[in-house]
Amino acid sequence: MMLSVKGVRKSFGETDVLRGIDLNVEEGDVVAILGPSGSGKTTFLRCLNFLERADAGELIFDGEHYDLHSATKKEISAIRRRTAFVFQNYNLFQNKTVLQNVTLGLTSGRGMNKAAAEKIAREALEKVGMLAKADAYPIALSGGQQQRVAIARGMATQPEIIYFDEPTSALDPELIGEVLAVMRQLASEGMTMLVVTHEMEFARNVSNQIIFMEGGHVIEAGPTAEFFSHPKEERSRSFIRSILNKESL
């Protein structure tokens, strides 16, 4: 097991957002986390990279145990160096060019020399089809282009897993395809991915595991094919039905 998470709990004030979430990810898995808005998916993902501090929970990464509530700065930094995070709003560094966005984590974050970092960055940008814009600033790019650069920025650090937090939710409909295509390619190359998404087609065709969450609980978890063809829970069935109805409209 590459990544194993147990008993993640988190509340904001009086509101319990996560009420004990478990998750297992094997190397090469593409896990789609589905669920209605407010189900805690994003908070869960953010807890895994310590962008939110969970109230309780354990993270086992390649056999190493981390406490999601009380991990030290050093442990957090170690985890973050082995993972990448793609945000809904891209969060490209506004004052850096596309190329600098990708190299910063390699040079300042990992002490790599500039030439080596730029070589890796150019390869990553080539892969997402953004090499031509290497010297542009984020403000000059479309949302889809910014998100592809953000994915290249994550890939360049050679993470063992990439977390995606609704990577296409902020995009115009006609720009969603180009980002999903990049993600699909990553998946086919064996990258381990944990994807919070509303894209049912992507979940159905690219992921191999589904986690369905609602109200801070995991309602159902299992292989993708099974989840869509034979959902066990009534709540999963109604969710799939409502989504499919929406898509056929």
String of DSSP letters for 199-212: -HHHHHHH-SEEEE
* Among 72, 108, 142, 238, interactor with another protein by CB under 8 A: 108
* Among 109, 129, 215, 222, interactor with another protein by CB under 8 A: 109
Determine the Cα–Cα distance for residues 89 and 64; give it in Å rounded to an integer: 31
Is the CB of residue 41 less than 8 Å from the CB of residue 237?
A: no
Stretches 21-29, 32-40, 102-110, 179-187: which one binds another protein (CB under 8 A)?
102-110
* Among 44, 61, 66, 87, interactor with another protein by CB under 8 A: 87
Nearest approach, Cβ of residue 110 and another protein (Å)? 6
* Among 92, 121, 124, 180, interactor with another protein by CB under 8 A: 92
String of DSSP letters for 175-223: HHHHHHHHHHHHHHTT--EEEE---HHHHHHH-SEEEEEETTEEEEEEE
| Pairing, β 15-25 against β 3-12 | antiparallel
Verify binding: residue 77, another protein, rule CB under 8 A. Answer: yes
| Binding to another protein in span 139-168, by CB under 8 A | 139-140, 150, 153-154, 157
Amino acid at 221: A
* Contact characters 16-55, another protein, x per CB under 8 A: ---------------------------------x-x----
Nearest approach, Cβ of residue 228 and another protein (Å)? 31
- Name the residue nearer to another protein (CB basis): 33 or 156: 156
Is the CB of residue 72 less than 8 Å from the CB of residue 130?
A: no
Determine the Cα–Cα distance for residues 33 and 45; give it in Å rounded to an integer: 9
The SS3 assignment for 17 reads: strand
Nearest approach, Cβ of residue 89 and another protein (Å)? 6
Name which of 132, 213, 207, 221 is nearest 164 in CA terms.
207
* Among 17, 84, 120, 121, interactor with another protein by CB under 8 A: 84
Binding site for another protein (CB under 8 A): 49, 51, 77, 80-81, 83-85, 87, 89, 91-97, 100, 104-105, 108-110, 137, 139-140, 150, 153-154, 157
